[in-house]
Structure 1
Amino acid sequence: MKKLIFTLYLLALLIPAFAQFSGDDTKTLGDRAFKNKDYYEAAYYYKKAATGMNLTDDKAIPFQSSPKAEKSRKDDDKAYISYQLADSYRLYENYIEAEPWYARVLNEGYESKYPLARLWHGVCLRATQHFDDAIKELQQFTSSYKGESRYLEIANKEIANCNFAKQQYQYPVLVDAAKKQSNWNSDGSDYSVIKKDGNYWFTSSRFAKDDKKHINRIYSAGNGTTKPQIIIFNNDKDSNISELEYGTPSLNPGGNRMYFTRWYKEGSKITHAIYVADWVNNAWSTPKKLNANVNAEGFNTIQPFVTADGKQLYYVSNKPGGQGGDDVWVSDLSSDGNPINSRNLGAAINTEFNEQGPYFDIKNQRLVYSSKGFLGLGGYDLFESWNKNGKWTTPKNMGYPVNSAKDDLYYMPDDEKGEKFFISSDRESDCCLNILEAYNKQYIFSGIVTDCDNQKPLANVKVTFIDSLSKEVLKEITTDASARYAFNVTTRRPYNLKLEKKGYFTKVVPVPSSGNMRGDTLFNPDICLQAFEVDKPIVIQNVLYDFDKATLRPESKTLLNGLVAIMNDNPKIRVELAAHTDSKGSDAYNMKLSQERAKACVDYIISKGISNSRIYAKGYGETRPIAPNTLKNGKDNPAGRQLNRRTEFKVVKIEE
């Protein structure tokens, strides 16, 4: 049984219940438990065998080779126990304990006998967030492994997961997630929270007094302030079954019918199915198994979720007709709450790997569920997809810290806006799921676009919100008369705004990470766009030179950086950079000086990465004054001369 579905055996198998065996028996008992997929029990016996061989005391001491056959067999036995113990830990997802045992197998030179050891060692390193080390191990595995292609596919997928996880940890989503500090979490697994009319229910494998052992049961937590109470169902026992357990509840809109997973052992077979019980006379009735539309004979069906209108039941099953493994399915419900059909959600949602824990927001047509089949941080990750016109969008990873390098499942909002929600994760545990509270910290980034010349609001500007790392366009709007734009910021990744309007220079600006925040909105200072016309000069104010020289002053370079930005943001424009002088000096001298000054500007702009094919220098000397150099009475006009000593640029061509 997989830990992630219900974590059945981890706490049900208590060490005091194990009988005492001699050292010679422990390997055999471990092999038997491993064959039966009781990995927790297998790890217990293999660990006893390792202790008997002194492996737990000398992990750092390499095996000593010997020509004697007897010693060789002992070394082989040690390697076998180490590998089996590592596999047992990994298969119940205790990666911390598994990692050093795989390392031991590799360090002692047994990779040829256990060629998958390096693959699983890399997986353990990924799960414990040692991403760079994991990538090295996995790459070494892919370069040397000559076996089945499916293991190479696993390794390549894990490498992709590591790279994705590294970026997610560097740029997390704007969510705070932490283990809920209350009596909801216990020494067992706690998971799958639901909320109805202000009250909560969840699943827990804590010690149950009535059963006198750790066992999965559904608990009611009232409004969240009371001690969780176990849910008792009427007359729910059969003499032919054992280890009866319940989990993953869901309630109909009226709150008087509970759908849940019920599983039990009948002989050596464990059966999972979805059942219902009704609230009658202040008690829950005897559970009844849903019909064959949901529960296919011989297959497992688990994790029900009833939509808010009570018309559909989402669930997980490995029955025929899916994409492979556990898939998400949906059934329409009749007026009395019984399934009348069943359909697989298809290849857009399901993969050849396992999917788990569906939640569907009927208002927004949003599905949240867990999968191992898509790019993620490792293990089960939570994904979201929207149903648009009957088609599901590509599932989107919900990112770190909603997801982690371990397993993350069972999304459930705590309020209508989704500002607080619950998830279940084993990120803080070696064995078990915990209930985590998560708070959405995303905000709205908003501002106004104006005309640089008159400072008036500018309508009909196309504003694009762009992920500056991936260059992905996240959203695009066109301003109305208010000239306001607004975008949701959901992660700590860097973003850009691109603003475009015909007759104006396009502008690309970074989205600030802090500033004037009011409530959940970050207000950006007004952004202005500069209008232009082809062949119409625009003065670059205060570009200064040393007297009688073409040497640019440092402050002039700062001003020219603005033109560099314009040319970067508008890659199709071709520009003339012009310099002008006043009338002091000869015509020839002024023409030469202005050309040298224009060239100095162009040389600087080219040095900032602008192609020399997009800009050229032109000196006009004193031939194009925009103000009188002298007054009508013949006196000098300093103000006019200042205006004439100018630097301009103009767009001479726009490439199609």
Structure 2
Amino acid sequence: MNSNKLPYFFLALAAVLSAAAVALLFIRPGSKPVIAPPVPGKVSPSEKAVEESEPIKGIEEPITPQTPEEIMKDLGVGLSTASPSELLEKIGKALEEGDLTSLSQLIGNKALDTAKLEQLRVLHENEPLRIGGIREIGEIEMNRRSRWAIDLADRETGRDRILFDLKRDEGKWSIDQLTLPPASDQEVPKDVLADSLGIAASFLDAVLDQNFEFALNFIDTEKVSEAKIAALCILFEEGQYQLRKQRPLRAMFSTDDTAGFIANVTTTDSDESAQFSLNLRRPEAGSDWKLIEINLDALLSAYADRYADGDVYYSPLVKNPAGGETLALYFEFDQDEMNVRTRRQIEIVASMLKADPAKKITLSGHTDALGSENYNDQLSSNRAQTVRDFLAAAGVSSEQIITLAKGASQPRRPNVTEDGEDDPNGRRANRRTEIYLDF
């Protein structure tokens, strides 16, 4: 380089370095460059480049909801999980959000088809679904298949739940069948109640609701007495029993025409549990399942432990000497007035009689052995008459009621011990009015 030009080189280099230093003051690492204010009506080159470029990565565009046909096209087998309740909770959340894609992926293609998926879409479209609760109904097959329900809030009776039949395979549960509520202009589909588990569950729902007349729809009245159904209503009401949340109905056996279940119940005020059995039969293929046997022995024993100090004779259901079963209402010593428990029992009987004026009952009053024969005859008559008056006040026709006074002649238990001593517990079971249902 010519020595005469060397000073000019260093001057130029100094100018470049100065410019770079000034730029660093305005543009530091991690800072944004200063952009000149836009000129109104003029698009800057940078703005034009953004408009013409591809969409910026990382920013999602709105997703167009898939149609039921599109969802079903590539739908898999659904989610398998060790916990049925967790699976149902996920399904419930997707239902409330109206997320058909997630919902279908949880349920799977075995239980879903395009028609059911469209029905779910319409259900949510007409009225956003709100989940009222998730509950297990019972076992269809022991340890292999069970039925759950998602209750829908603010829905009309009969269209208030979606049923899910789950199947267990290699320790995990998945949805095997789905039953949707019917449209508003349809009757409840038969498969909601038609199988043995559906009949058993519907019967127990009626008993829990104290709906005696509806409960009768599910029993064979030639095999199961109406007194037993009334007694079960009384037990559930007085004992404050409710179906257990886990496996409320356990499958014992199942064939094409017979089925048996154990009903597990708990009390609302404690962790005490009890159970009773239900047997059902279907006389021929295509006919309705009916309850043909209800064994209340274990439940009556649990009830006695809670309310009668283990005295199983102090029971709302007793055997009648003339055959069949009888409801028993108990009185305090030397009293003919009904207590609160007795009134509730009579209200159930009154509803039975008012529903069918052709039905008749026989009321027989009884006493313990203390007192004279004449006094006990009158007291037993008063006890039967007290029940009759209550029924009449509730609207039952007097022609449907027959009253008898038995005094101390038909004790249920001995009034004295084997040593001849007075037995207060025995006498307590004898102070009663029995209601024999003559139908």
* Normalised-by-shorter TM-score class: 0.3 to 0.5
Between structures 1 and 2, the one with greater strand share: 1
TM-score (norm 2): 0.37
Highest CA radius of gyration, 1 or 2? 2
TM-score (norm 1): 0.27
Greater RCO between the two (CA within 8 Å, min separation 6)? 2
